[in-house]
Amino acid sequence: MKKKHIFLILFSLYCFFGWSQKGTPTEAEIEKKVTELLSKMTLEEKVGQMTNIAVTIFETKGQPGVFDMAKLNEAVQKYHIGSLQNIPNSGAPTQKKWNEIMTSINNETNKTRLKIPILYGIDAIHGANYTAEGTLFPQEIGLAATFNTAITKKGAQISAYETRASSIPWVFSPDLDLPRNPSWSRIWESFGEDSYLTTQMGLAMVEGFEGNDAGSKYQVGTCLKHFIGYGSTTTGKDRTPSIIPERVLRQYDLPIYEAAIKAGAKSIMISSGEINGTPVHASKQLLTDILKNELGFKGVVITDWKDIIYLHTRHKVAETNRDAVRIAVLAGVDVSMVPEDYSFYTDLLDLVKKGEVPMSRIDDAVTRVLRMKMQLNLFNSNISDPKDYPKFASQEFIDEAYKAASESITLLKNSNAVLPLNKSEKILVTGPTANSMKYLNGGWSYNWQGELSDSFASGKMTILEALQNKAGKEKVLYTLGADLAIEDDAEIQKAVELAKDASKIILCLGEKNYTETPGDIGNLYISSSQIKLALALSKLNKPIILVLNEGRPRLISDFEDKMNAVVQCYLPGNEGGRALADILYGDVNPSGRLPYNYPRYSNSLEKYNRKYTESLGDEEQNNDAKYEKSYNPQFEFGTGLSYTTFTYTNLKIDKAEINNTDSITVTVDVKNTGSKAGKEAVLLYLTDLYASITPEVKSLKRFEKISLAPNESKTVTFVLNPKDLQFVNNDLKWISEKGTFRIQISDLKQEFLLK
């Protein structure tokens, strides 16, 4: 009798957990198991699943990275927490250390009644950047500059592989914010200013991270961020208000998330900001009516750091923290990144018991959490075996990161072909970003602000080291030249004196490593200490190559005209120094293009897809007056030079007239008419000449990256569909209107009529 009883228990456990041994369960199996498990859970266990805590609260006081197991026990056994995030205060753990951390957590959850595994998430935004020795790629703004979705997808696949190797199944990526102010501190976490480019890159990243099976031991679940309108602050400061008409939100921002949701993204993080006076975390219209109901999102909706608490302390829409919990959960939040106490748990428990939050809302949220855990196959062993990940930090992966950096770096100016350099000439390398890995990686690198990059990436090459490795130390002079912030005339004079012995100057400027609010600035111009260095060197009348390492376009108009070449590196990652050196010396032909307009002045921040009234010139009505042109960026979106030349011919469209259900096929011939092999991003823009909502001057609709040998030609084909001709009208409907449309590729144009 006793043996039979044991057999029945084991059989029951197999029926519940055994399916996972066969791989990720089917959708039908998941829904059935979620329903069964939900029916067995207490209210306390359910509310625990909605609670996300930072792993740092388990650390022993004064001992970063050392867990107090009693604190972990309390979190799991008393508060039933469902998810964890962040890294120890000691910085990025090794792959082995991550597995030890995850094993400790797993052992604790296995002591619980239902043995529901913890869901662990990490900010793996440009590679496994929170695992020591992980492969670091360019930040998203650099990936956007490649205009190559294959590179972006491959990078996400490698990031997924190395993150799962650390036993972590969930990444807070991709960032799909559409920034409208270039001073915003998270520009570099985005794919730039264009909605279509962001959509395509976001899709590539979701596909790379999740693959066909996010529960695979080589894939991870994604968390899109930050829904929605986060990058549109009127002040340009992080976590400050936005004013965005719903028509604009629906035309430019919402389609980005809609596409990623259709691609299978498992979770979404909510914007820390507010739109038109309503914090997004408090908006039932955005989170439930639009995101969950209209877009049909079935995944997990999670807050950002402390953002329910901030409804009370910052936004002032909730009189108490308890009221903030009620507002956010009823708006549609499923999981609260509390993340340093259990206030959300205790307040939500009380709210449900007193009938202020219905059990149906709790069950919906917990269903989403359990579904995601099963989709990620966490009920199977969620601890990775290192033997399954032989490619971790491999040369193969490093080569892919190098390739991504090489295609991201953008040549914006090259007067009199000052580039490429000759290895026989002596150069001076100077500037505050020339000799530190911090300025190649930026934030979210080994820790939050990225200040540990020089120690964690000590085996990688800075710009200076890469140039010395390339040409020999005897050909590469160096001095700091300037601090990022502090003006030092003596340092500038050192650079001026040393430059007299060099034939060319590599001037490395930029900004500090940062992310979020610590990156807020009050002045978009590059720092005065750097401007002073640039102007001093320019008086020598020697060729200067300006190399920019920056997360956003810091204004350089005070001295750009005195630079012979300008190279935008963005934040290219650990292989960025090598990639830049190869580009400067001509071993790699640059092919990046700007994913945003680079402004010339701080009060002239028009986007490339501006309205006609933003670019008045010869049509200005007061043509007898002197005035500055309305639209005059330093460099326009899509700018990117090469060491070869590409000629565009034979732009053709297959129909001169279409109706609103027709597609249109566009072809163009591209020829490499120079002497070097090169890659070219072919960009197709569309213009609606007249519309009831004022049309844009032009809007990117398609792009393709191609490679051409000298004298080689390719025909590039694009297909536009009816949705490409549509816009959102004042009734919030997507419509197209009859009239003439213009297609532009390079300087070629063709028009067609929509009947």
Strands 739-745 and 748-754: antiparallel
Q: How far apart are CA 233 and CA 520, in angstroms?
A: 12
The candidate with the shortest Cα–Cα distance to 304, out of 186, 184, 143, 158, is: 186
SS3 per-residue string spanning 312-373: HHCCCCCCCHHHHHHHHHHHCCCEEECCCCCHHHHHHHHHHHCCCCCHHHHHHHHHHHHHHH
* Beta-bridge partners for 509: 548
Strands (E), 607-712: 646-653, 657-658, 664-672, 678-688, 699-708
What residues contact residue 617 under an 8 Å CB cut-off, 6+ apart?
A: 629, 630, 631
Cα Rg for the chain, rounded, in angstroms?
27
Active-site residue (options: 123, 177, 194, 304): 304
The Cα 494–Cα 483 span in angstroms is: 13
DSSP annotation of 687 reads E
**Sole residue written with tokens 């629906």:** 250
Torsion of CA 325, 327, 330, 335, to 10 degrees: -40
Query: What is the C-alpha separation between 97 and 102, in angstroms, rounded?
Result: 9
Work out the number of other CB atoms within 10 angstroms of the CB of residue 40: 10
Total residue count of the chain as it appears in this document: 755
Q: Which of 494, 548, 506, 554 is nearest to 528 (CA)?
A: 554
CA distance 64 to 469: 37
Single-letter amino acid, residue 2? K
Please state whether 142 falls in left (phi above 0), alpha (psi between -120 and 50) or beta: alpha
Residues in Cβ contact with 107 at an 8 Å cutoff, skipping those fewer than 6 apart: none
- How far is Cα 666 from Cα 750, in angstroms, rounded to an integer? 10
DSSP letter for each residue of 127-171: BSTTSTT--BPPPHHHHHHHT-HHHHHHHHHHHHHHHHHTT--EE
What does the alpha-carbon distance between residue 100 and residue 60 come to, in Å, rounded to a whole number? 16
User: Is residue 479 within 8 Å of 456, Cβ to Cβ?
Assistant: no
Is residue 641 within 8 A of residue 676, CB to CB? The reply is no
| Spatial distance between the Cα atoms of 550 and 412, rounded to a whole number of angstroms | 14
Pairing of strands 476-479, 427-430: parallel
Q: Strands 664-672, 646-653: parallel, antiparallel or unpaired by DSSP?
A: antiparallel
* Annotation marks residue 304 as catalytic: yes
- Which positions are annotated as active-site residues? 304
